[in-house]
Amino acid sequence: MLESSNNMQDKIADIKNTYLKKIKQASSLKELDEHFLALFGKKGAVTKLPKEFSKLSKDQLQLVSPLFNGVKFELEKAISNKRLTIRETGYSLLERESLDLSSPVEIKKRQGALNPLTEFENHIVQVFSKLGFQQYDAPQIDTDINNFQVLNIPENHPARDLQDTFYIDSTNFGIEPGRILMRTHTSNSQIRIMTEYPAPVRFMNIGRCFRNESTDARHEHTFDQFELVYIDKGLSLANLLYLSEYFLKAVFGPEIKARLRPKYYPFVEPGAGVDGLCIFCSGKGCNICGGVGWLELGGAGMIHPNVLRAGGINPNEYSGIAWGCSPERMTMLKQGISDMRQLRNGDLRLFESLGSSVKV
Ligand SMILES: [Zn+2]
């Protein structure tokens, strides 16, 4: 059924009159935002109306279209003019306000403390600095190449399914989709380290990573990783085991023992899960270690020859160790925190109850 163009003109005039009045009466930016949404939002009056134009004949449309566009423009202009007026009024009120800077102010005595996660990270940075490891910072937004391809994870490799990835919409920059991402691990530092510094190198990288995971007590979409990249001549699994024990003793005390267990990571060969003797039951078996007496505390391996080659390093001359752990998991174990989300939710009560040792 065709709608009469008079009817449509009435609707347009109605929107115009109602909203011009509302805009005129608005006294805050918030109110204006509400009117803007009511007009131009997803379900706004101006957004929705053109859907009804299909009911008009071609001649009617020629009449209604310019009218509609004119009103749309008029309403936009009215809102932006009113925004300016409200801002100007706000500024002039501020100008007239006077502050007495000499009046005494009582400052609340409150002492802050470092988040236990930060405390832990500072600690391991110190621990590995003693072995000559320097800190390296890689970007949190990176290319698919640096995050996956040079790490022996080509496109369509099944290992990509293990790391659900947040991709950045890069079409606005003229880059095809799926090329720019939020890094899923700190290993995006490896190619940079290898191409920027000549071997031998000892670097540590600590920083934020992102995965498209649903969150629960043990998973977060935003988390930290700690990673070592150690490249030299003649490195072997013996060095890797030494680093693992050195690390675990520094964190959990001299009693702890480390063991390596075969584990698959595409960027190392061989790969190892790093286990520590359960700190809660000393290996006897308890609820926390699931009765096995060991806790998985890190992941490591000898850097894959393909990764070394991608970084311009000859795998026949040099070998490398990549070693990493989850600072969140370590902090939770050390401090007896059961829910990972507590570390970042900003609720200070947890930290007060822990009595963080570093006051700031
Ligand atoms: Zn145990």
Q: What is the percent of the chain where pLDDT is above 90?
A: 56
Span 324-347, average pLDDT = 88
Q: How far is the CA of 246 from the centre of ligand 1 (A)?
A: 21
- What's 321's DSSP letter? E
Span 289-299, average pLDDT = 91
Q: How far is the CA of 285 from the centre of ligand 1 (A)?
A: 4
Q: How far is the CA of 350 from the centre of ligand 1 (A)?
A: 24
DSSP 23-38: HHH--SHHHHHHHHHH
pLDDT for 328: 93
Q: How far is the CA of 294 from the centre of ligand 1 (A)?
A: 6
CA neighbor of 262 nearest in space, from 290, 300, 295, 291: 300
Q: How far is the CA of 277 from the centre of ligand 1 (A)?
A: 8
Q: How far is the CA of 300 from the centre of ligand 1 (A)?
A: 22
Mean pLDDT, the chain, whole residue set: 89
- Per-residue pLDDT of 35-50, as tens digits, reads 999 999 888 999 998 8
* pLDDT over 90 at 245, yes or no: yes
Q: How far is the CA of 268 from the centre of ligand 1 (A)?
A: 29
Which of 177-181, 228-232, 243-247, 339-343 has the highest mean predicted lDDT (pLDDT)? Answer: 228-232
Q: How far is the CA of 179 from the centre of ligand 1 (A)?
A: 43
Q: How far is the CA of 344 from the centre of ligand 1 (A)?
A: 26
In the chain, what are the helix, strand and coil shares in percent, each to the nearest 5?
Answer: 45, 20, 35
CA distance 15 to 25: 15
Q: How far is the CA of 346 from the centre of ligand 1 (A)?
A: 30
Q: How far is the CA of 265 from the centre of ligand 1 (A)?
A: 26
pLDDT band at 110 (very low <50, low <70, confident <90, very high): low
Q: What size, in residues, is the chain?
A: 360
* pLDDT over 80 at 119, yes or no: yes
pLDDT for 1: 47
pLDDT for 260: 94
pLDDT band at 355 (very low <50, low <70, confident <90, very high): low
Q: How far is the CA of 227 from the centre of ligand 1 (A)?
A: 25
Span 234-262, average pLDDT = 92
* pLDDT over 80 at 348, yes or no: no
pLDDT band at 181 (very low <50, low <70, confident <90, very high): very high
Measured CA to CA in angstroms, residue 358 lies from 108, 111, 113, 327 at distances of 20, 10, 6, 17
Q: How far is the CA of 287 from the centre of ligand 1 (A)?
A: 6
- Per-residue pLDDT of 123-166, as tens digits, reads 999 999 999 999 999 999 999 999 999 999 988 888 777 778 99
Q: How far is the CA of 176 from the centre of ligand 1 (A)?
A: 49
pLDDT band at 200 (very low <50, low <70, confident <90, very high): very high
SS3 category, 109: coil
Burial profile 200-223: b = 16 or more Cβ within 10 angstroms, e = fewer: ebbbbbbbebbbeeeeeeeebeeb
Q: How far is the CA of 295 from the centre of ligand 1 (A)?
A: 7
Q: How far is the CA of 210 from the centre of ligand 1 (A)?
A: 30
Q: How far is the CA of 43 from the centre of ligand 1 (A)?
A: 56
Q: How far is the CA of 244 from the centre of ligand 1 (A)?
A: 19
pLDDT for 121: 95
Q: How far is the CA of 330 from the centre of ligand 1 (A)?
A: 15
pLDDT for 114: 83
Q: How far is the CA of 333 from the centre of ligand 1 (A)?
A: 11
Q: What is the percent of the chain where pLDDT is above 70?
A: 96
